[in-house]
Amino acid sequence: MSVLIKTPQEIEIIAEGGKRLAEIMKELKKAARPGMTTKALDRLAENLIFKLGGKCSFKGYKNGSGQPFPACLCSSINNEIVHAVPSERIIKEGDLLSLDLGIFYQGFHTDMAETLAIGRASPLAEKLIIVTREALRRGIKVIKPGRHFGDIGFTIQEYVESQGFNVIRELCGHGIGRQLHEEPEILNYGRREDGPELVKGMVFCLEPMLTTGNWRIKKAENGFAYETMDNSLSCHFEHTVAITENGVRVLTA
């Protein structure tokens, strides 16, 4: 495994892209409402990316089967975990909507995701959102030079399971930079002091994906989205982060 270390100058460029991405995500969350299609959200995302001087990271990106992703935005609903393609599907009151977006800015990618309830959601759905967001926060808090990737996964898994939910095991975070997906893969479960050591200059995406049911997953018929095997609710939060001398810097804050 070869992890690409970023220079301070490169991290500043990624941070500027991340700032723009966070602005776009904020606008998408404000726009999402019952009766809207996920395709309309995708058009808004693409327009905002262009307006802020970036390009879509996901559009045209080829997955494991070699199919190019046809949109800028991943818009997953309820039992869909990640990579759902925007369509004429209408967002409904009570839905859990996960928005996952990446932008390419001045030679570098950034990636982030948030899940929101559309209107009034069930208490279980609301709790799932709170726990997933907190799992990401706790995972980020662990990051500093000298720790290990297993420390991050252990911290996320221990907290999530204490709250009665499960971590999706078959999907993970990833390094990021000039390529959208770089080494290493970052699991949301694990053991303390396991895996590679965290080193200053690493930039990666930490993205806990949780479910209210079993963590087993299945591929959707369109070949892109992943769904929970038992159709239980899923939730996803993600930030791009960099390791600094003092700890961690969130680049998509």
* Residues 167-179: tens digit of each pLDDT: 999 999 999 999 9
Q: How many residues does the chain have?
A: 253
Confidence of residue 248 (pLDDT cuts 50, 70, 90): very high
DSSP structural state of residue 143: -
With tokens 């499960």, the residue in question is 166
pLDDT over 80 (residue 46): yes
Average pLDDT of 145-174?
A: 98
Confidence of residue 214 (pLDDT cuts 50, 70, 90): very high
Average pLDDT of 89-117?
A: 98
pLDDT over 80 (residue 129): yes
Confidence of residue 66 (pLDDT cuts 50, 70, 90): confident
For the chain, which residues make up each domain, given as ranges? Answer: 8-250
189: buried, middle or exposed (CB in 10 Å: 19+, 13-18, 0-12)? Answer: buried
Confidence of residue 65 (pLDDT cuts 50, 70, 90): low
3-state class (DSSP) for residue 201: coil
8-250 in CATH: which number?
Answer: 3.90.230.10
pLDDT at 118: 97
- Cα separation, 158 vs 179, in Å, equals 31
pTM of the model: 0.96
62-66, 79-83, 168-172: the lowest-pLDDT one: 62-66
Average pLDDT of 123-148?
A: 97
Strands 239-243 and 234-236, by their bridges, are unpaired
- Cα separation, 142 vs 208, in Å, equals 14
